[in-house]
């Protein structure tokens, strides 16, 4: 069995270079690869194209890379709670491609499945469709237009899992199982950081969400903050 363990995050990201395209798992601040993001900040890697559901918040998650101007382009579904992301987008400092969330997920999935394109009705007749091919199909007895979207091509996919084994098999916990499995399948090189790294054979195969064949490097992360993006509490009676 192939051992995919690397010593630490520095080894895992040693060949990430300026100008690369990187997928980053997570939704809001849930399930984000905190150690990998911190390492990119430390390395100072710049001119990155980041594919992620959103860009975290101003001082955490991908927001840290935006603060240091290391991101050239964001491909995401929404701006979220990140004021710096919004400022850079509106000022033209940051190139932004907003993608419907289902389309974002399916373009990741297509890359993992080896499919070069998908066809979706989402975005037809809107600004999303400008410059893209539209075809008409009959599906379930209904004829309508579908927009052709290309599968993502990412140099690296950075994901965070709850548990993983030395062979790269991954289990995600609760809401952290969001974009992480799809992106883990889609990267040319997939780096997984895990809260707990166990020997091969310890994970129940019935509960493995991503098989190790998709993972190239895995390491045990440390010092997870797991911040809450928004907290809503009830006032005391």
What pLDDT score was predicted for residue 229? 73
Residue-level pLDDT at 80: 74
Cα–Cα distance for residue pair 162/213, rounded to 1 Å: 18
Domain layout of the chain by residue ranges: 9-100+152-220, 117-150
Cα–Cα distance, 140 to 128 (Å, whole number) = 25
- The pairing of strands 117-120 and 189-198 is unpaired
pLDDT at 32: 94
At 184, list the tokens.
Answer: 């883990």
pLDDT at 46: 96
Q: Provide the CB-side half-sphere exposure for 192 (13 A, CA).
A: 35
- Could you list the pLDDT tens digit for every one of the 237 residues in the chain? 789 999 999 999 999 999 999 999 999 889 999 999 999 999 999 999 999 998 888 889 999 999 999 999 999 998 877 889 999 999 999 999 999 999 999 999 999 999 999 999 999 999 989 999 999 999 999 999 999 999 999 999 999 999 999 999 999 999 999 999 999 999 999 999 999 999 999 999 999 999 999 999 999 998 888 777 777 888 887
The predicted pLDDT at position 203 comes to 96
CATH class of 9-100+152-220: alpha beta
């Amino acid at each position: 069995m192939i051992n995919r363990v690397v010593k630490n995050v520095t080894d895992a990201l040693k060949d990430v270079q300026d100008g690369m395209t990187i997928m980053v798992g997570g939704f809001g601040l849930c399930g984000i690869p905190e150690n990998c993001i911190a390492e990119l900040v430390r390395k100072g890697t710049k001119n990155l194209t980041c594919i992620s559901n959103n860009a975290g918040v101003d001082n955490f998650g991908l927001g840290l890379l935006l603060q240091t101007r290391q991101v050239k382009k964001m491909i995401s579904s929404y701006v979220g709670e990140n004021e710096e992301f919004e400022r850079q987008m509106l000022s033209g400092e940051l190139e932004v491609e907003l993608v419907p969330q289902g389309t974002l997920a399916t373009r990741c999935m297509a890359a993992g499945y080896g499919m070069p394109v998908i066809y979706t009705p989402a975005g037809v007749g809107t600004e999303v469709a400008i410059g893209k091919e539209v075809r008409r199909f009959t599906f379930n007895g209904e004829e309508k237009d579908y927009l052709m979207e290309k599968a993502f091509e990412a140099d690296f996919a950075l994901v965070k899992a709850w548990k993983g084994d030395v062979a790269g098999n991954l289990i995600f916990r609760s809401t952290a199982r969001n974009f992480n499995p799809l992106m883990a399948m889609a990267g040319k090189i997939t780096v997984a950081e895990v809260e707990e790294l166990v020997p091969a054979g310890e994970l129940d195969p019935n509960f493995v969400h991503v098989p190790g064949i998709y993972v190239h490097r895995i390491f045990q992360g440390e010092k997870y903050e797991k911040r809450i993006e928004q907290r809503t509490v009830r006032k005391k009676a």
